[in-house]
Amino acid sequence: MAASNNGALRSLAAIAVGSAAAGFGWSAGRDLYKKGKEWVVPVVLLAAVAGGSGYAAWNLSRGHREPSAARIAGSFLVAGASLALCLFVSLSGAGKPAPGHPQAGQGDLVGLALAVHAASAVLGLLIGLAQRGKRVRAFAIERHNLDFMAREGIRDVGGREETYLDGNGTELKLEDVRRDAMVFKLPGRRTVRAYIDLDPEGRMLAYRPAP
């Protein structure tokens, strides 16, 4: 479907769905960073050593717009690199016991590394599956909205401002998104509005052109 390749229309379709497809929001991540900057480096290092398999399982199970061989290959590459780094760190630490503790053998450390990665993968899988239903539903609604706009003849005309044309050639500029409708203003017609009715999940139901 040609409309699915139009970035502005996809953005409009996703806006209707709201934040249902969002994962961990930018603002939430920024606030977390501000509150715990001193933990960022240790957490990143821990994730690099032990979290690759968890990331891969999460990324593959959480649901996406469409299948991607690059995503699958990238996830397995990250998991493999993380496991290799974890094994390297484990083997490097073998034979170097901490004061007052017995020496750990290579087998013990390798087993621990594999257990950590297995636990990380299970955790990532569980988190991904918990997010999957909401994300997949949101992407399905987004596809429905793209099909809806194609049927109604709503198309993007490009430019620096997000301007659309309906099937009659009327210019539309998105003004507001309410729970029940998207509101468009018409350039040069201050009090006239066009609407796209929405259901509670953000699915486009009907286009009401300006009178």
- Give the Cα separation of 118 and 76 in Å (integer): 14
Q: pLDDT of 34-54, one tens digit each?
A: 555 555 555 666 666 677 888
For the chain, how far is it from start to end, CA to CA, in angstroms? 30
pLDDT at 52: 84
Q: Model confidence at 143, in pLDDT bands (50, 70, 90)?
A: very high
| Residues whose CB is less than 8 angstroms from the CB of residue 38 and which lie 6 or more positions away in sequence, other chains included | none
Evaluate if pTM is beyond 0.75: no
Say yes or no: 49 and 89 in one domain. yes
Say yes or no: 140 and 165 in one domain. no
**152 half-sphere exposure, CB direction, 13 A CA radius:** 23
- Looking at the structure of the chain, the number of domains it has is 2
Say yes or no: 165 and 63 in one domain. no
| Residues whose CB is less than 8 angstroms from the CB of residue 37 and which lie 6 or more positions away in sequence, other chains included | none
Say yes or no: 79 and 127 in one domain. yes
Proportion of the chain above pLDDT 90, given as a percent: 20
The range of the structural domain enclosing residue 115 comes to: 2-9+18-148
Say yes or no: 128 and 168 in one domain. no
